[in-house]
């Protein structure tokens, strides 16, 4: 869908529809830097998959709430909600949800402990800080929610929209990070101060706690040790389950039924981040489906270069007295005579041309004031010149985007890619998401 240029570097084409239609594809993870359209891409994939017969659910952990608006939902929370307005004639359905990390953590606690123990955990100040602010908790809970959705088996396709920036790859790191924090041996270390007691015990605790200073800074106080001990005592039977589920979900992301889509824009910083994602996914042995290059600009007249468009605009904007027949600049030696001969019914203009060399500047200015109004630039010429300048600017953008794209392709020529033409405005409804889906599938020309 990119502009055709024999000198351009080409990458394999990312075929979206076969990916969505394949029943073996069970999870699609959209990752990339912020502001490149991951949320919109995930939603558009969900709409297209549902209308092609898949039972899809979109899980977003992006704090922006554009997804709910574009899908016509009044709210988007931790519970999958059906999206109305989807064409279900092919047998597909669509649900959408936004991760609430604390609520997900609470659900895990209530699911894996008895009511009394669950209440003790939920009311514990240390747990409340952990569930709301521990580094990686959001991404870990996204993994938990992904595992829950997969276990329910109510949908045959789960589409995950990850957080913006490089923190998107915390989605991969979170299970190991939180799993290490909740490891049984480390928990025993934290329990040791309770047996030692007193000032010595607190000193020992501070050494053991140095690895999680960020969390402790939020809960420092006289009841810190008691809160930690109570939390650990109540959670003791659950720690093994956290680690087990984290490892299982991590393996699920490496399984053949999972596909990662890196989303980027044709900008230097965004594609630099995309390259980082591609390399990291390869290092983690995660299945990369390809790269979605959003908001690509094109032109319906690529043969008209920026330079030629600017030259034509300048010619149209020249004053009429410097133009010959047809409005073309006459650069010849006898241009004044040519103008005089070509100016029908304009004797004043002819007089100026005939005596130009014999008239002083003041006389020429007075004569010019007496010239008819057709010496000014006609409105249609001004309009044409303006359009040519806009085209020149668009062609500069196209060239810059293509150079940036080619740099990425030169480093990662094996990565399949699809260019998604830019829309004239933001996406706010299902029709807009369908339009994005068509562009993702290559059903819409790149020129925009």
Name 414's Cβ contacts closer than 8 Å, sequence gap at least 6. 11, 12
Asked whether residue 91 carries a pLDDT value surpassing 90, the answer given is yes
- Lowest-pLDDT range, 24-28, 49-53, 96-100? 96-100
Both 365 and 255 in one domain: the answer is no
* pLDDT of 171: 67
pLDDT for 305 equals 92
pLDDT at 206: 52
6 in any annotated domain: no
pLDDT above 90 coverage of the chain, percent? 36
Cα(238)–Cα(381) distance, integer angstroms: 76
More confident site: 362 or 396: 396
Domain identity same for 362 and 419: no
352: Cα separation from own chain's centroid: 62
Q: What is the dihedral of CA 144, 145, 148, 153, to 10 degrees?
A: -140
Would you state the pLDDT for residue 175? Answer: 59
Supply the CATH number for residue 103's domain: 3.40.50.300
Mind listing the pLDDT tens digit for each residue in 142-187? 778 888 899 888 999 999 988 765 555 666 676 566 555 555 455 5
Is pLDDT at 364 greater than 70 in this prediction?
no
More confident residue, 273 or 105: 273
pLDDT tens profile 375-388: 578 888 889 999 99
Domain shared by 336 and 193, yes or no: no
Whether residue 237 has pLDDT greater than 80: no
Question: Are 413 and 282 within one domain?
Answer: yes
| Domain interval for residue 360 | 330-374
Q: Are residues 201 and 279 in the same domain?
A: yes
> Is there a single domain that holds both residue 360 and residue 419?
no
Where would I find the beta strands (DSSP E) of 273-338? 288-296
77 with 182, same domain: the answer is yes
- Do 146 and 26 share a structural domain? yes
At 64-88, the pLDDT tens digits run: 666 777 787 777 778 899 999 999 9
In the sheet with 55-60, reading across from the earlier edge strand, the strands are 81-82, 93-98, 55-60, 157-161, 27-31, 258-264, 288-296, 417-421
235 and 335 fall within a common domain? no
* Residue 127: exposure state from Cβ atoms within 10 A (0-12, 13-18, ≥19): buried
User: CA-to-CA distance for 411 and 415, rounded, in angstroms?
Assistant: 10
Count how many domains the chain has: 2
The answer to whether 382 touches 317, Cβ cutoff 8 Å, is: yes
Residues 191 and 334 grouped into a single domain: no
Confidence at residue 16, expressed as pLDDT on a 0 to 100 scale: 96
Query: How many other β-carbons are positioned within 10 Å of the β-carbon of residue 300?
Result: 10
Return phi, psi of residue 375, to 5°: -75, -15
Report pTM. 0.73
- Residues 163-175 have pLDDT tens digits of 765 555 666 676 5
């Amino acid at each position: 869908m990119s502009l055709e240029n024999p000198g351009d570097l080409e990458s394999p084409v990312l075929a979206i529809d076969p990916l969505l239609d394949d029943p073996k594809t069970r999870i699609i993870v959209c990752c990339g830097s912020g502001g490149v359209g991951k949320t919109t891409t995930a939603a558009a994939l969900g709409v297209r998959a549902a209308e092609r017969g898949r039972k899809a659910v979109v899980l977003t952990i992006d704090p922006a709430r554009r997804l709910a608006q574009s899908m016509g939902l009044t709210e988007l929370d931790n519970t999958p909600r059906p999206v109305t307005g989807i064409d279900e004639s092919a047998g597909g359905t669509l649900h959408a949800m936004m991760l609430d990390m604390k609520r997900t953590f609470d659900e895990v606690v209530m699911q894996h402990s008895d009511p009394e123990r669950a209440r003790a955990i939920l009311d514990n100040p240390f747990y409340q800080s952990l569930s709301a602010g521990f580094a990686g908790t959001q991404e870990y809970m996204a993994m938990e929610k992904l595992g829950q959705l997969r276990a329910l088996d109510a949908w045959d396709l789960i589409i995950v929209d990850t957080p913006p920036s490089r923190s998107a790859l915390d989605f991969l790191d979170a299970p190991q990070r939180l799993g290490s924090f909740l490891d049984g041996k480390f928990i025993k270390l934290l329990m040791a101060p309770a047996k030692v007691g007193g000032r010595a015990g607190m000193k020992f605790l501070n050494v053991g706690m140095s690895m999680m200073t960020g969390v402790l800074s939020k809960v420092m106080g006289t009841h810190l040790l008691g809160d930690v001990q109570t939390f650990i005592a109540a959670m003791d039977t659950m720690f093994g389950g956290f680690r087990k589920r984290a490892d299982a979900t991590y393996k699920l992301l490496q399984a053949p039924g999972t596909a990662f889509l890196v989303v980027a824009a044709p900008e230097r910083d965004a594609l630099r981040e995309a390259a980082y994602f591609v390399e990291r996914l390869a290092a983690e042995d995660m299945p990369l489906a390809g790269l979605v290059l959003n908001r690509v600009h094109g032109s319906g007249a690529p043969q008209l270069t920026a330079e030629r468009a600017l030259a034509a605009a300048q010619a149209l904007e020249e004053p009429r007295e410097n133009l010959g027949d047809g409005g073309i600049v006459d650069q010849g030696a006898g241009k004044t005579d040519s103008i005089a001969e070509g100016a029908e019914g304009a004797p004043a203009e002819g007089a100026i041309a005939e005596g130009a060399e014999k008239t002083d500047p003041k006389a020429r200015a007075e004569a010019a004031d007496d010239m008819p109004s057709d010496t000014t630039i006609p409105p249609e010429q001004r309009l044409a010149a303006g359009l040519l300048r806009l085209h020149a600017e668009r062609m500069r953008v196209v060239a810059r985007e293509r150079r940036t794209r080619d740099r990425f392709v030169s480093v990662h020529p094996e990565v399949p890619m699809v260019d998604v033409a830019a829309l004239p405005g933001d996406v706010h409804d299902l029709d807009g998401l369908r339009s994005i889906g068509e562009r993702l599938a290559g059903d819409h020309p790149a020129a925009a």
